[in-house]
C-alpha cells in the first residue's frame, strides 16, 4: 500500500495535473508485476508525473542521491518512496534494495540521463546515459518500460503535461552477452524509445 505522505503528495499533484491537462498515452504497457521505468528528466516533478498513471493503487519507488537523506529531508524522501544511492560508485545496498522491491512486484522509476535536461539543450550535448537503469531491470528479470515526458518544466503557461509509456524494451536477444554489454545495448534501445515517445507528445 502507498505510504500516507506519498498519497498526500499525489493529491497535491492532482491539482497540477488538472490545471496542466495531464495527458497519459500508453498506460496499457504497464505490467501488473514489478518493472523498471526509464524516463527523460526535465523537472523535479517528473517522478510524480510518471506515477500518475498508477496512482493511488501503486507506489513508485525512486533512487535519490544519498546527500538528500539528511536530518531535514530524510523523512520526506522516504515518504515519497525514495531510497538512497551513493552516486559515482557501485552501491551494493541500493542495488539489493532495488532488486528486492522489483522481485516483490514493485515499480522503480529511474532517469538514465542522470541529471535534469535543460530546456532547449541539444541532444548531442547531453551526458552519456547511465546503463544502471537497464542493468537493474536485466538483473531482476523484469520489464524495462520507456517513458517520455514533456511539460513538467513549464508550469506557467498553457503547455500541457504529457507522459507516454512505450512497450517493454526487447532484451531477449541479449542473452549470451556479457552483463556490461547487454546493459549498454539495452540502454541504447531505451534512449531511442524515450526520444520517440517524447516526439509524439
pLDDT (0 to 100) of residue 77: 93
3-state secondary structure the chain: CCCHHHHHHHHHHHHHHHHCCCEEECHHHCCCCCEEEEECCCCCCHHHHHHCCCCCCCCEEEEEEHHHCCCCCHHHHHHCCEEEECCCCCCHHHHHHHHHHHHCCCEEEECCCCCCCCCCCCHHHCCCCCCHHHHHHHHHCCCEEEEEEECCCCCCCCCCCEEEECCCCCCHHHCCCCHHHHHHHHHHHHHHHHHHHHHHC
CA distances from 32 to 11, 105, 120, 129, 143 (A): 22, 8, 35, 27, 11
CA distances from 89 to 85, 93, 147, 183 (A): 9, 11, 26, 17
Confirm if 166 and 147 have CB atoms less than 8 A apart.
Answer: yes
pLDDT (0 to 100) of residue 125: 42
For the chain, which domains are there?
Answer: 4-200 (3.40.1130.10)
How confident is the chain (201 residues) per 10-residue block, as mean pLDDT?
A: 90 93 96 97 93 95 90 92 83 91 96 68 60 95 97 86 98 94 97 96 93
pLDDT (0 to 100) of residue 154: 84
Peptide bond into 56 cis (omega under 30): yes
Give me 21's grid cell.
Answer: 491537462
pLDDT (0 to 100) of residue 87: 74
Q: Whole-model pTM?
A: 0.91
pLDDT (0 to 100) of residue 65: 86
pLDDT (0 to 100) of residue 64: 87
Per-residue model confidence as pLDDT tens digits over 71-109: 999 999 999 999 998 876 677 899 999 999 999 999 999
Q: How many residues does the chain have?
A: 201
Amino acid at each position: 500500500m502507498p505510504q500516507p505522505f506519498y498519497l498526500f503528495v499525489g493529491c497535491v499533484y492532482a491539482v497540477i495535473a488538472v490545471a496542466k491537462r495531464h495527458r497519459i498515452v500508453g498506460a496499457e504497457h504497464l505490467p501488473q508485476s514489478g518493472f523498471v521505468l526509464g524516463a527523460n528528466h526535465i523537472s523535479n516533478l517528473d517522478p510524480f508525473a510518471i506515477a500518475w498513471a498508477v496512482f493511488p493503487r501503486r507506489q513508485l519507488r525512486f533512487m535519490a542521491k544519498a546527500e538528500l537523506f539528511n536530518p531535514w529531508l530524510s523523512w520526506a524522501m522516504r515518504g515519497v518512496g525514495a531510497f538512497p544511492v551513493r552516486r559515482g560508485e557501485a552501491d551494493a545496498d541500493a542495488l539489493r534494495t532495488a532488486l528486492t522491491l522489483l522481485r516483490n512486484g514493485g515499480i522503480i522509476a529511474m532517469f538514465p540521463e542522470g541529471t535534469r535536461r535543460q530546456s532547449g539543450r541539444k541532444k548531442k550535448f547531453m551526458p552519456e546515459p547511465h546503463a544502471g537503469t537497464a542493468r537493474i531491470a536485466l538483473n531482476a528479470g523484469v520489464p524495462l518500460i520507456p517513458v517520455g515526458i514533456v511539460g513538467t518544466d513549464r508550469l506557467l503557461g498553457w503547455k500541457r503535461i504529457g507522459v507516454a509509456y512505450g512497450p517493454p524494451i526487447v532484451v531477449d536477444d541479449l542473452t549470451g552477452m556479457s552483463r556490461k554489454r547487454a546493459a549498454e545495448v539495452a540502454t541504447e534501445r531505451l534512449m531511442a524509445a524515450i526520444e520517440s515517445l517524447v516526439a509524439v507528445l
